[in-house]
Amino acid sequence: MLEDVSIHYNEIALKGRNRRGFEKLLDKEIYRTFHKRPEKIWGRLLLRGVDEKDADRLALLPGIAWFGRTEIIERDLEKLKKAVKALEAQYGPMNIDVRRIDKSYEKTSLDIRNYLIKEVGGEESGQKVRIEIFKDNFTVNYDIKRGIGGLPIDPKNKVLSLFSGGIDSSVVPFELMKRGMSVDLLHVHAFNDPDLALDSKIKGILERIKGVNDFKLYLVPFYVFSIKASAAPPRYELVLFKRFLLKLAERLANEMGYKAIATGDSLSQVASQTLDNLRAESSGVETLILRPFTTVNKEEIIKLAMRYGTYDLSIQPYKDCCSIVSKHPATNAKSEVIERLSKEIDLDGIVDESMKQMKVKEFSFD
């Protein structure tokens, strides 16, 4: 069944002179997803003729605060009452909210709300229905769902995100995209054939990300690092591996024009993510490193993963490179020690060889 959908944003509306540019970016996002342009009405967007099953895709589009199915009716209170009664018959008691966008209308928002509650009834715990009063009509919004908010994706804001397939690194791309970033992924895999990585849980996670925006996936084999790093003390192997990831990402960033690198690190969440270790592995990396989960608790990250639909996939078994290296990593690594060990194992040479072995896959929304 085809529906008209009202789309609302909040942060975009605060952007002053830059607002129009952000609105254009959101328009492009919606067109990419639905192959149709929304109409702009009083700071809202109206998308006509959307399949009700497809409408839920709006929930993950960056920049959208909330959306709902909408009915546009004449500015007539009797017709408004009939529309709300029809919804009550379908959904049960209504929680009625009225917004007077056109301030010249003779009745206040409270007047109309009280009228509808008297004529139709209403309950705070009922189905949310939001009525908006425009110059030429009323809109009745129902089946309201929350979006992820933030800002629409700007293709110029390119970020390369380290991606392992775990809970945290699978959520980072979504968090970056809702801040307007265009995100590509770097994945170091433990397979002889990179296609085997895509036959795992990784594929499902990538499909979720693809539903929001097109991206590139850089696939790099783990063995190049593993062979050379075996000469280093085992307790420093994980810190060296993470330093390798950052140096590899920096090389890609410099060659491909990424403005920043992103990781799923959360301060002290696991033994390797102590302040000393994060400092040591980052030393010498000049590219901006974004760590959106630095101070975020694990439970909060899990909630985000559930919302984005990646959690159940992320916890499936997988040959994660971080789980292959030393089980008892150093927790207070010093920058000078990691710098010395990096030279001893020729970390720059490992990055060079890894770049030669790298494969690139492109993912785009169909």
The architecture that CATH gives domain 2-146 is: 2-Layer Sandwich (3.30)
CA dihedral 76, 80, 82, 87 (to 10 degrees): 160
Nearest to 152 by CA among 261, 59, 25: 25
Helix (H, G, I), strand (E, B) or coil at 188: strand
Q: Angle at which helices 275-282 and 237-256 pack, to 10 degrees?
A: 40
Written as one string, the DSSP assignment of 18-54 is: GHHHHHHHHHHHHHHHHSSPPEEETTEEEEEEEETTG
What residue ranges do the domains of the chain occupy? Answer: 2-146, 158-363
**CA of residue 95 relative to chain centroid, distance:** 30
Q: Which residue has the tokens 């209504």?
A: 94
In this predicted structure, what is the pLDDT of residue 360? Answer: 96
Q: Which residues of 51-60 are buried (b: 16+ CB within 10 A; e: fewer)?
A: eeeebeebbb
Taken in order 56, 166, 263, 210, is the CA torsion positive or negative?
Answer: negative
d(CA 258, CA 261): 7
**Top-tier CATH class for 158-363:** alpha beta
- pLDDT of 168 reads 95
Whole-angstrom distance, CA of residue 160 vs CA of residue 289: 10
Residue ranges in the chain modelled with pLDDT below 50: none
CB 197 within 8 A of CB 216: no
Rounded-to-10 torsion of CA 310, 265, 222, 282: 150
Note the pLDDT of residue 300: 97
Q: What is the pLDDT of residue 196?
A: 87
- pLDDT tens sequence across 26-45: 999 999 999 999 998 877 89
Task: Give the pLDDT score at 304.
Answer: 97
Question: What's the pLDDT tens digit per position in 130-161?
Answer: 999 998 899 999 999 999 999 999 999 999 99
Q: What is the pLDDT of residue 366?
A: 64
**Strand, helix or coil at 263?**
coil
**Whether the domain at 2-146 and the domain at 158-363 fall into the same CATH topology:** no
DSSP lists the bridge partners of residue 46 as 6, 39
- What is the reported pLDDT for 285? 95
